[in-house]
Amino acid sequence: MRLAPILAAAALAALPATAQDRDSYEYREGYRRGYDDGFAAGYRKALEEGRGAPPPAPAYAPPPARLGPIRITRAIYGSTSRSCDATRFVKGQAEGRINATVNASNEMCGDPAKGERKQLEITFRCGDITKTASGYEHRSVYLDCSTPN
């Protein structure tokens, strides 16, 4: 008959805790100890099986962009209605330099659109990086290969 009180105590322990029990210091400490003990046991088992914490993944760093001198890919001068190819002129002004200033004017390839506002659009490469620059007529366009931006 001594078994009955033990079974009764086990049955009470299996019941879910009430809100008042969960607020008690003993309940919170027991929960924390149980969590810590379970974590430590799992960690020990993983180490014994050779499945310890994996090494941290290496941080990805893209390779540095190679910069180089200006290589003109294309230069167009004109308006939305008419334009001309100014690549040859711009190459003569900037090709092979680290930075250059090109003046947008009718000297590049004539006046493709008389009386209209014209713009010079240049596409160029700096080593591995392709860049663009543009400017309106009678303004300067600055090409720079000294920085990746």
pLDDT of the residue at 1: 47
Please answer whether residues 69 and 97 qualify as being in contact, where contact means their C-beta atoms are separated by less than 8 angstroms: yes
Total domains present in the chain: 2
pTM of the model: 0.58
Q: Give domain status of residue 11, yes or no.
A: no
Same domain, 33 and 87: no
What's the rounded Cα separation, in Å, for the pair 102 and 141? 5
Tokens at 17, concatenated: 């805790």
Q: Give domain status of residue 16, yes or no.
A: no
Same domain, 43 and 74: no
What's the rounded Cα separation, in Å, for the pair 102 and 123? 13
Same domain, 79 and 140: yes
Q: Give domain status of residue 13, yes or no.
A: no
Domain that holds residue 27: 22-50
Strands 99-103 and 83-85: unpaired
Please answer whether residues 138 and 104 qualify as being in contact, where contact means their C-beta atoms are separated by less than 8 angstroms: yes
pLDDT of the residue at 39: 81
Averaged pLDDT in 10-residue chunks for the chain of 149 residues: 51 55 75 83 78 66 81 96 96 96 95 95 94 96 90
Q: Give domain status of residue 14, yes or no.
A: no
pLDDT of the residue at 135: 96
